Amino acid sequence: MNIFPEDEISKMFGRIGEAEMDVSGIRRKFLNCPYGEDKRQALDIYLPNEGDGPFPAVFFLHGGGWVSGVRSDKQAAPFMHGVRRGYAVVAVGYRLAPAAHYPDNLFDVKSALRWVAENAETYLIDSGRFALAGASAGAHLALMAAFTHGVAVFDGVPGRPPYTVRAVVSQFAPTDFMSADRQFEESDYPRAAPPKPERGDASDMMFGARKSDVPNLVRFMNPVDNVHPDIPPVLLLHGRYDPIVPYQQSVELYDRITELAGEGRAEIEISDEYLHADPRYSDPENVERIFSFISKYME
């Protein structure tokens, strides 16, 4: 029995990565910079057209259910506005399932962060001012990279990491894999792909096992289970009627952060209009919301 329906999952997320960004107006850019040996272990660096830096950097991680997507995907568009606001923007690629399983993708993100930090002077970047951002699966990895920052078992490097994560922006992230089905049932909102008990989903493929068979191990990839008092500030953006990741995933994480890290460590906005990977996340009001949050912690 195949519990990883690769064809169905690829079809569901295939639209992600089809529309790429127009970056022709950005004069200073360094594309396809390898931070590892795999072709997906590469990143693109976009710098403000003027200035000598060092610039604070916003790292964007693309969505695609951990099985598809590219770093040039238009989901990065809201964050590309950072270039004209004085930020470097780094679009990070990472290895995808089923060729790679968690935490390989998380280790890729951390390797990319270290690579940029180690080459910060070359690319006019301030390694003391990093923000992480992502959409869907990418937001999950951004949260996990921030929450496990400096934790030896995840970072794999002894001592203080050579960069500082100041803030995280999460757009429609999965945060608690064991509760998503229940949350959809409780809200009774439309769902893009109702679960099939005999088959796995994208997160099973990413994890390399059926989550229900290893619930304790799933805690090591749940952002909600990795919150601690020292995490950086988090902005959570989600659509109430998101048909792929229930909005309660962000609400649950917000409540957990508030409980463990205190009031004000997290901010949340639940839209009654935006859906999953909605192009309207690039609307001016949402872009302003994102950078108003980031700028508070990057000065």
- Look up the CATH number of the domain holding residue 177: 3.40.50.1820
Residue 38 lies in a domain: yes
Residue 14 has pLDDT above 50, yes or no: no
Segments forming the whole domain that contains residue 75? 6-298
Residue 281 lies in a domain: yes
Q: Is 19 helix (H, G, I), strand (E, B) or coil?
A: coil
pLDDT tens per residue across span 244-284: 999 999 999 999 999 999 999 999 999 999 999 999 999 99
Residue 5 has pLDDT above 50, yes or no: no
Residue 8 has pLDDT above 50, yes or no: no
* Owner of token pair 């805690």: 219
Residue 55 has pLDDT above 70, yes or no: yes
Residue 133 lies in a domain: yes
Residue 25 has pLDDT above 90, yes or no: no
Residue 215 lies in a domain: yes
CA distance 71 to 108: 13
Question: For residues 59 and 132, is the Cβ–Cβ distance under 8 A?
Answer: yes
Residue 3 has pLDDT above 80, yes or no: no
Name, in order, each residue with C-beta under 8 angstroms of 89's C-beta and a sequence gap of 6 or more: 45, 46, 57, 58, 60, 76, 79, 80, 82, 83
Stretch 147-160: mean pLDDT, rounded? 79
Residue 1 lies in a domain: no
Residue 93 lies in a domain: yes
Domains in the chain: how many in total?
Answer: 1
Q: Is 186 helix (H, G, I), strand (E, B) or coil?
A: helix
pLDDT tens per residue across span 166-190: 999 999 999 999 999 999 999 999 9
17-31, 66-80, 169-183, 267-281: range with lowest mean pLDDT: 17-31
Q: Which residues pair with 90 in a beta bridge?
A: 45, 59
Q: What's the chain's average pLDDT?
A: 91
Residue 239 has pLDDT above 90, yes or no: yes
Q: Is 45 helix (H, G, I), strand (E, B) or coil?
A: strand
Residue 271 lies in a domain: yes
Residue 194 lies in a domain: yes
Residue 194 has pLDDT above 80, yes or no: no
* Greater model confidence, 202 or 232: 232
CA distance 116 to 156: 17
Q: What is the pTM of this model?
A: 0.93
Residue 237 has pLDDT above 70, yes or no: yes
Residue 112 has pLDDT above 70, yes or no: yes
Residue 42 has pLDDT above 80, yes or no: yes
What share of the chain in percent tops pLDDT 70? 91
CA distance 168 to 88: 15
